[in-house]
Amino acid sequence: MTSKIEQLKTYLAEIVDLGYIGSLLGWDQETNMPPAGVKERGEQMATIARLAQQRFTSEELRRALEEAEAEVAGMDPDSDAARLVKVTRREVDKRVKVPSRYYEELSQLAVESYAAWKQAREQDDFEHFRPYLERMVDLRREFASYFSPYEHVYDPLLNEFEPGLKTQEVQQIFNELRPQQVALIQEITSRPQVDDSPLRQHFDPQKQWDFGVEVITKFGYDWQRGRQDKAAHPFTTSFGLNDVRITTRIMEDYVASALFSTMHECGHALYDLGCDPALARTPLAGGSSLALHESQSRLWENLVGRSKPFWEHFYPRLQAYFPEQLGNVSLDAFYKGINKVQPSLIRVEADEATYNLHVMLRLDLEIQLMGGELEARHLPEAWNAHMQEYLGLTPPTNAEGVLQDVHWSHGYIGYFPTYALGNLISAQLWEAIHKDIPDLEDQIRRGEFAQLLGWLREKIHRHGSKFEAPELVQRITGQPISPQPYIRYLRQKYAEIYGI
């Protein structure tokens, strides 16, 4: 007789497949789709969303879930079966509160909105994007309304990306982090600035691409299970445990952009590729949360990729790719250049010391948007005011300001806090990794990453979505999510670079 868990998995597999199909359509939209395909792609995405919602809220799934809940009663609560039931219950309870019509409308608008955002950013034309953004904000406010009463209007949006965390908890973490990070930036800016001009020359795009491929191949990215393409805003997407794709963005006059975006997206991909195959075609496949996912991408991009041991191994290879540009640039000068601290306009190009301020700025704006204190049409002015307050800069154009990020075009309000949380978690994990792998820096210096990847797969990747981020961080490090390891990491690093 087929167990109730297996019957539940049969229903869930179809829903998961629909999600992967939607992801494939989204990947194609951002990499290959011709501009005229927007309307039809929106209709296709709406159909996928409607079918998934109907199946999530069907009587058949509800009955299968109730029977599976009875079957797992008394099982180890950390077993795959018990966790599958728990995660499915969480998703079903959320889905039944939202009408199918909502998901259709959101999916179709996201396709049209992304196309409008892309054109608006290219032409520095906020007004072209504004009506789509206004509709998206209205839709996300509507979504939050389905979960009233709530502790905070932002909670339902945050829960979409970070289950287990409340807005108040995130604000408390950020309130502890911000003054320490601001103080560090002030100390750094009081010291003589490092020179990053060697990074700002012409670098052949194909050679940038090839070097990035060389690096992430050594990290462990499996090209039989993935591929890399170009996109306006780099991202990673998964169509299953054996098809995880990444994208990058190349700037011909700044070598660090493609390099670190490639490493960043590879970190996301390694997480998905490391999931236990037993979790395939269930809601447990994939990462625990966006913050956990971001901890992996930032760990490979920054804690590994911006470290001195990493470049002791890879810098001669980069010089071989670009002898004219870097042949006479010392390792020390290059290392300081890629770690230069300077308030800047663009989040994805921001240094480690200022990056989290970009995130906090966006969190403030999103909370105001959801609460009705700020309307979408006033975002450019609010953005510029916050940039001046947080980073002492005013964007000269909206393309370098409010239009720089893709997230709002997709309706991803609630996403941004996960970036800063990921930074914090990455440093907590880094301290735990060093305890278990004392010679980690020597391994990186030799270009060896197998033991590091193995640790991440054992502690994090294989579990997929079985554990919420706060729980998994507590299990691994013995501590709740905290900014202090990240502050220690930054202070130690910049003490060497800036002499603070």
| Structural tokens at position 243 | 């098809």
**Could you tell me if 103 and 49 are in contact, meaning their C-beta atoms sit under 8 angstroms apart?**
yes
Region label for 98, one of left (φ > 0), alpha (ψ between -120 and 50) or beta (otherwise): beta
Q: Is 375 a catalytic residue?
A: no
Secondary structure tally for the chain: helices H, strands E: 22, 3
333: Cα within 13 Å, side-chain hemisphere:
12
| H/E element, 91 | helix 80-95
Token look-up 């445990």 returns 241
DSSP annotation of 416 = T
Q: Residue 229 and residue 222: Cα distance in Å, rounded?
A: 15
Q: Which H or E element spans position 115?
A: helix 100-123
Rounded CA-CA distance 497/489 in Å is 13
The residue from 71, 104, 265, 352 that is catalytic is 265
- CA dihedral 411→417→418→421, nearest 10 degrees, is 180
As a whole number of angstroms, the distance between CA 372 and CA 138 comes to: 10
**Between helices 417-436 and 450-459, what is the axis angle to 10°?**
110
Q: Are 404 and 362 in contact (CB under 8 A)?
A: no
d(CA 4, CA 68): 5
Q: How far apart are CA 238 and CA 19, in angstroms?
A: 10
- How is residue 269 annotated by DSSP? H
One-letter amino acid at 11 equals Y
> What is the residue whose two structure tokens read 């930074």?
423
Q: Is residue 133 a contact partner of residue 408, using CB atoms and an 8 Å limit? A: yes
Catalytic (active-site) positions: 265
